[in-house]
Amino acid sequence: MDQAQISFDLVGSALGEDIFSEQGILLLKKGTILKEVHILLLQKYRFGKTVSVDLNENTKKISPSEKPYQSIQAYIKDAFQSFYRSKEINIVLLRERFHPLIELSLCDVSILKVLQTEGKKDEQLYQHSINVGILSSIIGKLLGYKKKDCLLLADMGLLHDVGMLGIDKSIYKNTNTIDNEEIQKHTEIGHKLLSSIPYINSLIPLAALHHHEKINGTGYPKQLKEKDIPYFVQIVSVADCFNSVYMNIHDNGEKKPNFAGVYELIEKAQKNELNPAIVIPFVRYIMRQNLLQKVRLSNGKEAQIVFIHDNEPYQPLVKVGEEYVDLRREAGVRIESLIGEGHEVRV
């Protein structure tokens, strides 16, 4: 048995000891194969401590979503390209292939690491589309929507950028920014393509058309305000924004700080561009995956995340040495990266 810091990395490991509450009630039995719910329980009753686990049960630590995620990318690429050429797509088959990955992802605590798998630069569109579909469904689950709604959000996210196939690649490669007028046409191209599919849910073409609208009316192509943007489309917009930063899209090749996706969402919510009611629960979910992890702060100091605030999850309580620091009271100090075993890793 090994002593290990309590984190979501322990999912799949075997618990090496009985866990009791302060009142002596048995909470978890020795030998339990740890799941996400068990980690949350351990974090509550063993706050800031280690736990005995059998890491041999978890040596591979292979995400259940990893292989399905990798295997579907070629299919999505072929399906998108065929759709653009022929203006036809087998939406039923698309769902049959994509929805099992969504169902796995909704239960996979390591899915964020899977989404960051680096693919080929010229196939970034397809990976981005898959990621936004997965993230949109996760946000739906966080907001309490039923499975059928989460699957609809997955479809909306998957197909939101299909209009990019109608944009000259040379324009995209040379500018690499969504502010370019030619690139902005992808929203209307995608809407027209998707509207031609018989019996398609009307929210899917609307996601393609409106995912760059902002709730303050400064987006495109229609400059719609919050009341005129379907709520599910607002969810896709949050997923799209986060993943664009997460995958370093539209950044001219410059690597951004590793928590940049989180802070991008927060800044856009504060500017009333993205809906805070969607952004905050999603950021809370992301930050909770990193509870008790060691991080590097923007001031160069190393710290450990020890508490996530519900309403301001992007400014957690951290421990620097022996001192506890509330980042809500530290103006300008942010989390930049996770510190792994001898190296820094992205979030």
What order do you get walking across the sheet with 302-307 strand by strand?
323-326, 317-320, 302-307, 294-297, 335-339, 344-345
pTM for the whole structure: 0.82
Instruction: With residue 195 as reference, give the H or E element that holds it.
Output: helix 186-195
pLDDT at residue 62 in the model: 65
Domain count, the chain: 3
**Residue 55, pLDDT score:** 62
**Residues in contact with 139: Cβ distance below 8 Å, sequence separation at least 6, in sequence order:** 153, 235, 238, 239, 278, 281, 282
Do 299 and 232 lie in a common domain?
no
Residue 265 inside a domain? The answer is: no
pLDDT value at position 64? 82
The CA distance from 303 to 294, in Å, is: 6
Are 176 and 322 within one domain? no
Per the domain annotation, does 149 fall within a domain? yes
Calpha distance 108→100 (Å, rounded): 12
Would you say residue 283 lies in a domain? no
Asked if residue 232 and residue 197 are part of one domain, the reply reads: yes
Whole-number Å distance between alpha carbons of 148 and 202: 15
Phi, psi torsion values for 216, nearest 5 degrees = -95, 5
Residues 6 or more apart whose CB falls under 8 angstroms from that of 271 comprise: 216
List all residues 6 or more positions away from 174 whose beta carbon is below 8 Å from its beta carbon.
none
Is 243 found in the same domain as 319?
Answer: no
Q: What is the DSSP string of 103-169?
A: HHHTT-TTHHHHHT----GGGHHHHHHHHHHHHHHHHHHHTT--HHHHHHHHHHHHHTTGGGGGS-H
Residues 250 and 326 in one domain: no
* pLDDT for 43: 77
Peptide bond into 205 cis (omega under 30): no
HSE at residue 213, side-chain half, CA atoms within 13 A, is 26
Residue ranges making up the domain that contains 311: 291-345
How much is the pLDDT for 200?
Answer: 95
- For the segment 178-205, what is each residue's pLDDT rounded down to a tens digit? 668 888 999 999 999 999 999 999 999 9
CA nearest to 137, candidates 101, 94, 106, 92: 106
CA quadruple 284, 131, 239, 241: dihedral sign:
positive
Domain co-membership, 149 together with 93: yes
Which of 324, 282, 278 is CA-nearest to residue 305?
Answer: 324
- 4: helix, strand or coil: strand
Same domain, 126 and 215: yes
Mark whether 105 and 232 lie in a shared domain: yes
Give the closest residue to 344 by CA, choosing from 250, 242, 255, 239. Answer: 255
- Choose among 184, 185, 160: nearest CA to 235: 160
- 200 & 224 share domain: yes
The stretches in the chain having pLDDT less than 70 are: 1, 8-9, 36, 46-48, 55-62, 172-179, 249-257, 340-347
Of 206, 240, 256, the residue at which a domain comes to its end is 256
Q: What is the pLDDT of residue 10?
A: 76
Cβ-based burial of 165 (10 A; exposed 0-12, middle 13-18, buried ≥19) = middle
CATH of the domain at 20: 3.90.105.10
Residues 6+ apart with CB under 8 A from 25: none
Strand boundaries in the chain, DSSP class E: 2-5, 14-15, 19-20, 26-28, 50-54, 294-297, 302-307, 317-320, 323-326, 335-339, 344-345
In the sheet where 14-15 sits, what is the strand order?
A: 2-5, 50-54, 14-15
Token look-up 């907001």 returns: 143
DSSP label at residue 253: T
Burial track 240-255 (b if 16+ CB lie within 10 A, e otherwise):
bbbbbbbbbbeeeeee
